Amino acid sequence: MQLSDVKLTVQEVMDLTNKYMIETYQRFPFLAVKAKGMYLYDEEGHAYLDFYGGIAVNNAGSCNEKVVSAVRDQVGDIMHTFNYPYTIPQAVLAELVCETLGMDKIFYQNSGTEANEAMIKMARKYGTDRFGPEKYHIITARNSFHGRTYGAMSATGQPDNACQLGFKPMVPGFSYAEFNNLDSFREAVTENTIAIMLEPVQGEGGVRPATKEFMQGIQKLCDEKGILLLIDEIQTGWCRTGKMMGYMNYDVKPDIISMAKGLGGGMPIGAICAKKEVAAAFNPGSHGTTYGGSPVCCAAAYAQVSELLEKELDKNAKEVGDYFMKKLAALPNIREVRGKGLLVGVEFDFPGAAAIKHGCLDRRLLVTAIGGNIIRMVPPLIATKKDCDTAFEILKASVEEALKEEKDR
Ligand SMILES: *Cc1c(COP(=O)(O)O)cnc(C)c1O
């Protein structure tokens, strides 16, 4: 059997999905068959303007030509070997990422949550090696999001939300402090604290940027107390916020960063980068992964990062993002427009996010809704001001419609 021989109607695809798949997602009610640049296409060729970018993944545009050809070239040579032999894609990507970011070392994983597991494990191993086994405590922020596996889920500061409920007990050794509140973090430090772990902009937590005073205060606190600064760049990394990495907006220098989403251009890859004295905590046997560092994913990531650099998509994200945020302030019933670069959140003063999202979908604009009253947009970073104008008009019509529904109810 070949997939190309399979002929199904849209309804049959939906029925198979509903019958056999364990569903944890609220699906958009259409069948995606093609993606290119700023658009996703259904089977009838309708174009959807993509302002969720596969959740901040397709930074250089969906099916970017260089990424596609890198994958095509690599996939026929070596798809997988495990990490015993040396491979070219791993080596050249390691140099490109480390030199671009000014970091010493990289370790490859397959996803964001796994990158965070590696970051947490490295911090604890470093603490144990240097100071003893009681140096394990990690402080993260309330409302943060770090992933769905046990370490990353335990680091996620949302004890009362669906991501943790039903899965307790969490991994011990984490505590949560208030984001953008330096005193709260200072008070959470104990003699066992080895690390503070933060997102520069809380993404899933409602698109909340850290303040400069807070980030710099955290850096100072870490320096004073010998605490490692871990930055989760999974959503904010790779030009999303107008800089290569989100932390670069704040003049801080983290000890370890995690990345994934925007790195692979649509292929599943995650990674951590670390300073060399911290990276030395990992040695043969202490950590590993079967697929991490896949030649195909590394080849894709090499093409993706090269595209981001060549097209200067950090600058485009800043310019277009600033333009878009200014424009969005003219929407009705806004409480706040916030974000950095093209990581943009619009908070409304009524709980209409789901209705607005559906209104946008009807008008073929893709956005995500969080927390009942927030619309989040993370388009590919090739977005133009014209794309933002189109998105704005659709949003405006959808907000007006949602308000009318709210009143009629
Ligand atoms: C998406 C995300 C993760 C988890 O990444 P996955 O690849 O879905 O495991 C972790 N942290 C942040 C900040 C994210 O946005």
Q: Ligand 1 test: best mutation among 198, 235, 368, most atoms within 8 Å of CB?
A: 235
145 lines ligand 1 (CB under 6 A): yes
Per-residue model confidence (pLDDT) at position 313? 98
Task: Give yes or no for residue 147 CB within 6 A of ligand 1.
Answer: yes
Question: Of the residues 109, 119, 146, which should be mutated to test ligand 1's pocket, given the most ligand atoms within 8 Å of the CB?
Answer: 146
Omega before residue 133 within 30° of 0, cis: no
Q: Which residues pair with 44 in a beta bridge?
A: none
CB 268 within 8 A of CB 115: no
Which has the closest alpha carbon to 359: 331, 324, 327, 326? 331
d(CA 361, CA 359): 5
Q: How many Å from the N-terminal Cα to the C-terminal Cα in the chain?
A: 51
CA distances from 70 to 73, 298, 300, 317, 360 (A): 5, 9, 6, 24, 34
% of the chain with per-residue pLDDT over 90: 98
284 Cβ contact list (under 8 Å, min separation 6): none
Tokens 């303040």 identify what position? 211
CA atoms within 13 A on the CB side of 56: 27
Ligand 1: atom nearest CA of 148 is 9
Q: Which residue(s) pair with 231 in the sheet?
A: 198, 257
Atom 5, ligand 1: which residue's CA is nearest?
112
Any atom of ligand 1 within 6 Å of the Cβ of 234: yes
C-alpha–C-alpha distance, residues 225 and 391, integer Å: 46
Residue nearest to atom 8 of ligand 1 (CA): 112
Note whether residue 61 is domain-resident: no
Q: How far is the CA of 82 from the centre of ligand 1 (A)?
A: 24
H/E segment holding residue 213: helix 212-225
Domain that holds residue 237: 81-310
Closest approach atom of ligand 1 to CA 236 = 13
**Strand order of the sheet with strand 365-366?**
32-36, 39-42, 47-50, 365-366
Residue 226: the pLDDT is 97
Q: Is residue 320 part of a domain?
A: no
245 lines ligand 1 (CB under 6 A): no
Reduced to 3 states (helix: H, G, I; strand: E, B; else coil), residue 38 is: coil
Return d(Cα 337, Cα 374) in angstroms, integer: 9
**pLDDT (mean) for 200-227:** 97
**Closest ligand 1 atom to 270 CA:** 7
314 close to ligand 1 (CB < 6 Angstrom): no
Of all residues in the chain, what percent are helix, strand and coil, respectively (each to 5)?
40, 20, 40
pLDDT at residue 407 greater than cutoff 90: no
pLDDT class of 343 with cuts at 50, 70, 90: very high
> How far is the centre of ligand 1, averaged over its atoms, from the C-alpha of 255 (Å)?
19
Please provide the average confidence, as pLDDT, over all residues in the chain: 97
Gap between the Cα atoms of 292 and 185, Å rounded: 33
CATH number, domain with residue 163 = 3.40.640.10
**Tokens matching residue 278:** 């911290």
Residue 233 beta carbon below 6 angstroms from any ligand 1 atom: no
- Kindly state if the Cβ of 144 falls inside 6 Å of ligand 1: no
Q: What's the pLDDT at 406?
A: 86
The answer to whether position 14 is within a domain reads no
Atom of ligand 1 nearest to the CA of 149: 9
- Residue 16 placed within a domain: no
Residue 76 belongs to some domain of the structure: no
Q: Which of 99, 86, 101, 106 is nearest to 279 (CA)?
A: 106
Distance 45 CA to ligand 1 centre (A): 31
Q: What is the pLDDT of residue 144?
A: 98
In a domain, 364, yes or no: no
Check pocket membership of 90 for ligand 1, CB cut-off 6 A: no
Q: Determine the distance separating the centroid of ligand 1 and the alpha carbon of 193, expressed in angstroms.
A: 24
Assess whether the C-beta atom of 146 lies below 6 angstroms from ligand 1.
yes
Question: How many domains does the structure of the chain reveal?
Answer: 1
Q: What is the mean pLDDT of residues 58-87?
A: 97
Spatial CA neighbour of 66 closest among 316, 261, 313, 306: 306
Distance in Å, CA 259 to ligand 1 centroid: 8
Please report whether residue 59 resides in a domain.
no
Output the pLDDT for position 232: 98
Does residue 360 have a pLDDT over 90? yes
Tens-place pLDDT, residues 229-275: 999 999 999 999 999 999 999 999 999 999 999 999 999 999 999 99
Interacting residues of 340 by C-beta distance below 8 A, sequence separation 6+: 200, 201, 209, 236, 240, 241, 242, 246, 249, 321
* Residue whose C-alpha is closest to residue 97's, from 291, 247, 308, 312: 308
Q: How much distance in Å is there from the Cα of 1 to the middle of ligand 1? A: 35
In this structure, what are the phi and psi dihedrals at residue 253, rounded to the nearest 5 degrees?
Answer: -130, 95
Strand pairing report for 343-348 and 228-232: unpaired
225 domain-assigned: yes
Distance 116 CA to ligand 1 centre (A): 8
- The answer to whether the CB of 109 is under 6 A from ligand 1 is no
pLDDT at 208: 98
> How far away, in angstroms, is 165 Cα from ligand 1 center?
18
**Which of helix, strand or coil describes residue 193?**
strand
Bridge-partner residues for 193, per DSSP? 137
Q: What is the pLDDT of residues 134-153, one digit of tens each?
A: 999 999 999 999 999 999 99
Q: Ligand 1 atom closest to Cα of 268? A: 7
Judged against a pLDDT cut of 90, whether residue 1 lies above it is answered with no
